[in-house]
Amino acid sequence: MVKKVNIGVIGIQGAVSEHITSMKKALKEENIDGNVISVKTKNQLKDIQGLIIPGGESTTISKLIYKLGLYQEIINRAKNNDLALMGTCAGCVILADETIDDKKDIKLLKLMNISVHRNYFGSQKQSFEKEIKINGFDKAYNAVFIRAPVIEKVWGNCKILSKMNEKIIMARQEKTLALSFHPELADDLRIHKYFLDMIEF
């Protein structure tokens, strides 16, 4: 039976088109009937089952999510277990319950039991790729890190999925997934397919 699903990517700033392209490819390879759209309004959230918060500038994205009226709607739907979420790089920060730096300029969604250190891996010039092990994946994944954060700790029902040099770089809490890196910049679609498996449709 062919399934149908609607996926949104917050379309304010960052790696939006790359996520849309990767998710469309993942849907096709998994033989799932679905749509992938750029989300900029509260109304667009109504008909989607999965939402990606992309990499970019975490302060800018978080403030615009709030300004555009998306903030509370995302929280409400996530807490009702009605929306799967994936946050990559800046999106990982925005999903967090707290950041460990002193800056208070981010409007965190506080949907995951994680504490995040922003820009842990330094500037854009210090971007790199690294093969990592992910729980449940049968072979290594080549991850792309750009001004990447790390997850300093998790608690409660949040589970660690991957570490690099003893630092947490991927975690899941029920239907919410946070990654330090950029899966949309890799040719490997396994993370987008993993996210599809988290969505009820």
Domains of the chain: 4-198 (3.40.50.880)
Q: Which residue in 19, 89, 117, 158 is the catalytic one?
A: 89
| Tens-digit pLDDT profile for residues 5-55 | 999 999 998 889 999 999 999 999 999 999 999 999 999 999 999 999 999
Q: Which residue in 19, 117, 182, 192 is the catalytic one?
A: 182
Examine the residue annotation and report whether 117 is marked as an active-site residue of this protein.
no
The span from the CA of 68 to the CA of 147, in Å, is: 26
Going by pLDDT thresholds of 50, 70 and 90, the confidence category of residue 136 is very high
Percentage of the chain beyond pLDDT 90 is: 83
Examine the residue annotation and report whether 182 is marked as an active-site residue of this protein.
yes
Examine the residue annotation and report whether 158 is marked as an active-site residue of this protein.
no
Q: Which residue in 18, 92, 158, 184 is the catalytic one?
A: 184
pLDDT higher than 80, residue 188 = yes
* CA distances (Å), origin 122, targets 44, 126, 164, 184: 35, 6, 15, 20
DSSP, residue by residue, 140-154: -EEEEESS--EEEEE
